[in-house]
Structure 1
Amino acid sequence: MKLSPLSVGLFGALVALAGPDHLPLGGLPVMVGKASADESGKQGGTAGRAPSVPMARDPSAAVAEEYEAARRQGTREALELFIARHGDDPLAEKARTELKQLAR
C-alpha cells in the first residue's frame, strides 16, 4: 500500500505535536510523569500534598514596625515618608504630631 503525500504530512504533524512538550502518544503529560516519579522516590509518604507556605504577615504589625523605625530616626524625612506611605493609618496621626514637635 502506497501512502499519499497528504497522509505522510498528517502523520508528520501528529508526531510533531506529540513532541516532548506535549502529550506522548498514549501516555501522561511529561510533567505529570516526572512529578509522579519524584514523589514515589521520597520518604515519608507526602505524595499529593502541596508544599507548605508560611502564613502572611499581619499588615498592621509591619506598619507599626515602620513607624517605630521612623520615630527612632527622629528625622523630618523619615516621618514624612511614613506619613506618605500610611496616611490613613492611625499611627500617621502620631507621626504628624511628632513632625510638628520637630518643627519647634
Structure 2
Amino acid sequence: MANISEDIGSIRQAESEADIIVEEANKKSTEMIQEARAKVDSDIEAAKEEAQDEAKHILLAKEEEAGKEAVIITNTSESDIKESLRGSENNVDDAADIIIETVL
C-alpha cells in the first residue's frame, strides 16, 4: 500500500507541477500577445504618420505646380487681352475712318 500511496503522491505532485507549468505558459502567452499588439499598434501609428507626411508633401508639390500654372495662364491671358485691345484700337480707327467717309 505504501507504494500506491507514494505513487498517488507522485501523481498529485506531477499534476500540481503541470498545473504550474500550464499557468506560467498562459501568463507568458498573454504577455507575448500584449507585446505583439503593442508592436502592431505602434507600427500602424508610424505608418499613418508616414502616410500623412507623404500626403502633405504631395499636396504642397501640387499646390506649387498649380501656382506655376496659374502664373503662366495669367501671363498668357494678359498677353491675349493686350493683343485684343490693340486689335480693337485699330478697328476703332478704321471704323472712325469709314464713318467719316460715309458721312462726308
Instruction: State the TM-score, normalized to the length of structure 1.
Output: 0.30
Per residue, is there more helix in 1 or in 2? 2
Higher relative contact order, chain-length normalized (CA < 8 Å, sep 6+) = 1
Instruction: State the TM-score, normalized to the length of structure 2.
Output: 0.30
Name which one, 1 or 2, has greater alpha-carbon Rg: 2
